[in-house]
Amino acid sequence: MKAVSDVPRNARQVQYFRTKFRQPQPEDQLSDLIEKARDDDFIHSIQVVPSLHLVLSDARMVDDIKQFCCAPSDFSILGIDTYNVSESIYLTPTSHTHLNLTDRRTGNHPLIPGPAL
């Protein structure tokens, strides 16, 4: 206690302080997401209007797509699919085959995940 004014005046003031500290503060999920995007390189871009869109990727994923899907002679097909995760949430992942790797058992190139929306 630093001063006499720090002591509550009556029981009502004590109840007020208890309810003030007990109630969880509402979280702003959008501002938390934007703050995370500033710190994390995996969230490539955020679009908020007209609806929320996120592009999740890192530099290596983009470089792999350039290397394996954009070569004119030896290339991999970029696969894109959309999943309805919930009523208003959709996930659109991409994938391609890694042409420098070969599965010993099957002899095929493995399927590698790419950026997602």
pLDDT tens-digit series, residues 3-29? 767 777 888 888 888 887 776 666 778
Condensed to tens digits (0 to 9), the pLDDT of residues 23-55 reads 666 677 888 888 888 888 888 888 888 888 888
Condensed to tens digits (0 to 9), the pLDDT of residues 63-91 reads 999 998 998 888 899 999 999 988 888 99
Q: Read off the DSSP letter of residue 109.
A: P
User: Encoding tokens for residue 76?
Assistant: 């991999």
Task: Judge if pTM exceeds 0.75.
Answer: no
Q: What is the pLDDT of residue 96?
A: 92
Q: Tell how strand 93-97 and strand 111-116 pair up.
A: antiparallel
